[in-house]
Amino acid sequence: MHFLRDFPLNSFNTFGVAALARQFAVVSSEQDLMRWCSAAGQATPPFLLGGGSNLLLTHDIEAPVLQLALLGKRVIFDEGNTVLVEAMAGERWHAFVQWTLAQGLSGLENLSLIPGFVGAAPVQNIGAYGVEMAATCDSVMAIDTATGEPREFRRADCQFSYRDSVFKRPPAGQHAADEDHRDRFAITRVRFRLSRRFVAHVDYGEVKAELQAIGVTAPTAMDVARAVVAIRSRKLPDPAVQGNAGSFFKNPVVPAVQAAALRERYPALPQYPADATGEQVKLAAGWLIEQAGWKGRGITTDSPAAVSERHALVLVNRGGATGARGEDAGQIKIFAVRVQNGSAAPKPMTCHSKATSPRPQHSAAHKHPTARWPNAES
C-alpha cells in the first residue's frame, strides 16, 4: 500500500469538514490489509474509513488512515427461496441493495438509499422504516488490525441491537474509555441471507402512504424500494449539495409505561415498538427536535451548523462548519450537544414542547479525534 502525507479528507466525509490525514492509503485487497496489519497494526493502530457518512472529523488524524475500497459482490448459493449473497466492504450500500433487487431478491428494500458503504452496515446495524440489517445478516468477515488475522463473526457473534453491535464495544480486557475499538476489526465482507419470497414490511405510515399515493395495493420488493427512495429523496438533503451525514440522532428508547404516559400528554408523539416483548418503545427523535423549535435552525441565523429544514434528525453544514480546529469550538459538535440536551431553539422560534419530553439522544461513539454515529431512521 502506498501512503500519502497530509492528505485532505474534505471529500472523504459527507459533512465536508476540512481535516488532514497525516498518512492516508487506499486498501484494495484483503491480502494488502492483512500484510500491513501484521507488520504495523499493533504498534500503529489504524483509523478505518469507508464512505465517510457516519463520522464527524474533529481534528486532523494522526493515526494511519486506511480507506477500505474492497469491491465485489456475488451469489454464494441459491437454494429455492433462500439465496446467500456476499458484498465486499467498499461497495456502496444503495448500489448493493439495487443489485439484490435486480436478482429478484428481497429483504433489503426498506434500507434503500441509506448512505455509506456495506462495511459500515454491521457496525451500526443500520435500519429504516421498520427493518434492520441484522434481520438478513448471515455473517461478517473481518481482519484483526492488531494481528492481521482473519476472523468470521456469525450473526449471533455480532450481538446486534438497536444501532449497535459488538464492533462498537471494547473487546475483553479493554477499558471502555480506551481508543474506540471499532477500528480493531476491519470488516472486509458481509454475507446476507435473502429471499425470493417477498414479505412486505410497510407498517410505517410514510411507506404505506407513499404506496397508496402511487396506486400500489399489492407491492413488490421493487415497489417498496421505490417508495423508500422517493420518501428519502424528499426528506433528506443531498450531501453533494449540502454537507450532512444523514440522520444524526437515535430515537430514544423508553419503558412502555413511560411511553403510555407520554402518549396521554403528547398524543401526536410518534411511537414504535423497540422489541418483540413490547416492554420498550422508541420515540421519534425528529418529532421531539421539531417540537423544540430546532428544525431549519442554527444557534444563530448565520450559524454554519444547523438542523435541516427538510428533516429534524439531520444536521447540516450550511457552509464553513468545522469539527474542531485550534480555538474553533467545533460548530457542528457544539450544536449537536445543544440539541441533544433538549435545549429549546433561540428566540424568536417558539418551543412547543417543554423539557418534560424525553430528550433525543445523540448516538455518537466518541473517538479522539472523531465522533461517529449511526445513520438512524427508525
In three-state secondary structure terms, 232 is helix
Domains of the chain: 4-68 (3.30.43.10), 73-195 (3.30.465.10), 243-372 (3.90.78.10)
> Cβ of 191: how many Cβ atoms within 10 Å?
18
Is the pLDDT at 357 greater than 80? The verdict is no
Is the pLDDT at 362 greater than 50? The verdict is no
Q: Residue 50 — pLDDT band, cuts 50, 70, 90?
A: very high
Q: What is the pLDDT of residue 174?
A: 53
Is the pLDDT at 358 greater than 50? The verdict is no
Higher-confidence position of 323 and 151: 151
Closest by alpha carbon to 120, among 99, 91, 98, 100?
A: 91
Q: What is the pLDDT of residue 347?
A: 53
pLDDT in tens, 179-215: 444 579 999 999 999 999 999 999 877 899 999 999 9
Residues 6+ apart with CB under 8 A from 328: 322
Q: What is the pLDDT of residue 317?
A: 87
Q: Are 290 and 312 in contact (CB under 8 A)?
A: yes
- 254 vs 280: CA distance, rounded Å: 6
Average pLDDT rounded to a whole number, residues 113-133:
94
Please report, rounded to a whole number, the percentage of residues in the chain having pLDDT higher than 70. 84
At residue 167, what are phi and psi to the nearest 5 degrees?
-75, -10
pLDDT in tens, 268-278: 999 988 888 88
- The maximal CA–CA distance of the chain, rounded, in angstroms, is 61
pLDDT in tens, 292-306: 888 988 878 887 888
Is the pLDDT at 353 greater than 50? The verdict is no
Q: What is the pLDDT of residue 366?
A: 32
- 29 vs 31: CA distance, rounded Å: 5
Q: What is the pLDDT of residue 342?
A: 66
pLDDT in tens, 157-167: 999 998 899 99
Q: Residue 240 — pLDDT band, cuts 50, 70, 90?
A: confident
**Is the pTM above the cut of 0.85?**
no
Residues 6+ apart with CB under 8 A from 279: 255, 256
Closest by alpha carbon to 32, among 191, 190, 189, 188?
A: 188
Which three cell numbers, joined as nine digits, stand for 192?
446476507
Q: What is the pLDDT of residue 298?
A: 85
Is the pLDDT at 75 greater than 80? The verdict is yes
Q: Residue 264 — pLDDT band, cuts 50, 70, 90?
A: very high
Q: Residue 74 — pLDDT band, cuts 50, 70, 90?
A: very high
Q: Residue 223 — pLDDT band, cuts 50, 70, 90?
A: very high
Position 236, amino acid: L
Q: What is the pLDDT of residue 318?
A: 86
- 76 vs 98: CA distance, rounded Å: 18
Q: Residue 105 — pLDDT band, cuts 50, 70, 90?
A: very high
Higher-confidence position of 329 and 340: 340
Q: What is the mean pLDDT of the chain?
A: 84
Q: What is the pLDDT of residue 213?
A: 93
Q: What is the pLDDT of residue 4?
A: 97
Helix axes 221-235, 205-213, angle to 10 degrees: 110
